[in-house]
Chain A
Amino acid sequence: MVYNWHDDTRLGGTTLICARTNIYKTARGTLALLILTALAATVIAGCGAGSGGSSQSSEEQQASGTAGSSGQKAEDTGSSGRTAGGEPGHPTLGSADAPVVLTEYSDYQ
């Protein structure tokens, strides 16, 4: 299966141009500090919770680092997969065990 790159610039008949080239990394030091603080608080509270696990979606990792834990579970269902409620999960391509997860928020226009 080929997952075609959608290139809005095709409309302009040009090659790929960065709409916004600002790749940025999160402030990892701050993120690490937040995670350590959260873990420490968890241990102190006696909950004994571990880490979120590697199957957590990338955007969920982001969200947990910036807006606190959302409690949303990672859904690794593929295009034909289903959630417990019988509805399709998020469309995915690739292995559920992949070390890198690319989550794309997009629309069709």
Chain B
Amino acid sequence: MEPKLYKEYVEDGTLRIEWRDFPYRGQESVDAAVAARSAQAQGKFWEYHDLLYDNQASGYSEENLISYAKKVGLDTQRFRDDYESARYAGLVQADFQRGQSIGVNGTPTFFINDQVLVGLQPLGVFESAIEDAKREAEGG
């Protein structure tokens, strides 16, 4: 997430960001999502998530996913056990199915209260949507 959005809206309590997995680009997408949920089980989802994006070009082989777990300070044995047993695959699958059921067909797709943004957007679009949603939530 754009750091400016985080600073402007999350830190002051205006905005909550919720992540949903929508791994539709093949097995590596699914593997990365399951790995991130395994990191989440150890309280380091966002750190792992950031590392995945930072290393998109390197791919998400099992070896890479485990090395990222080490980098963010996870218990690698527990991570490996959770990842290899696909312990959290059901969560990923549930998100995916949920997304499909509400019409998500590509990524990223954002829901900002009752607005939908599809695809990458300039920062100003998010700021405007958040401000609109905030006004509406406040009854304006």
Residue contact B3 to A5, C-beta cutoff 8 Å: yes
Interface residues of B in 1-31 (CB under 8 A from A): 1-3, 5-6, 9-10, 13-26, 28-29
Residue contact A108 to B114, C-beta cutoff 8 Å: no
Name A's interface SS.
Answer: loop
Which of B16, B33, B40 gathers the greatest number of chain A CB atoms within 10 Å?
B16
A3–B54 Cα distance when bound, in Å, is 12
Interface residues of B in 114-132 (CB under 8 A from A): 114-123, 125-126, 129-130
Contact code string A70-109 (vs B, CB < 8 Å = 1, else 0): 1010001001100000011011111111111111111111
A37–B5 Cα distance when bound, in Å, is 36
Residue contact B54 to A16, C-beta cutoff 8 Å: no
- Chain B residues, Cβ within 8 Å of A96: 16
A45 at the interface (CB under 8 A from B): no
Given contacts A3-B1, A67-B101, contact A106 B18 (CB under 8 A): no
A49 at the interface (CB under 8 A from B): no
Given contacts A93-B16, A99-B138, A102-B110, contact A72 B98 (CB under 8 A): yes
- Chain B residues, Cβ within 8 Å of A107: 21-25, 29, 32-33, 107
Residue contact B50 to A2, C-beta cutoff 8 Å: yes
A107–B32 Cα distance when bound, in Å, is 8
A109–B117 Cα distance when bound, in Å, is 19
Given contacts A79-B45, A79-B46, A90-B20, contact A109 B25 (CB under 8 A): yes
Residue contact A109 to B109, C-beta cutoff 8 Å: no
Given contacts A1-B46, A109-B29, contact A26 B120 (CB under 8 A): no
A51 at the interface (CB under 8 A from B): no
- B25's nearest neighbour on chain A, judged by CB, is A109
Task: Report B's interface with A, CB cutoff 8 A.
Answer: 1-3, 5-6, 9-10, 13-26, 28-29, 32-33, 36-37, 40-41, 43-47, 49-50, 52-54, 56-57, 60, 88, 90-91, 95, 98-99, 101-104, 107-123, 125-126, 129-130, 133-134, 137-138
Sample of 5 more A-B contacts, CB < 8 Å, known A1-B47, A108-B60: A23-B129, A62-B114, A63-B101, A65-B114, A100-B134
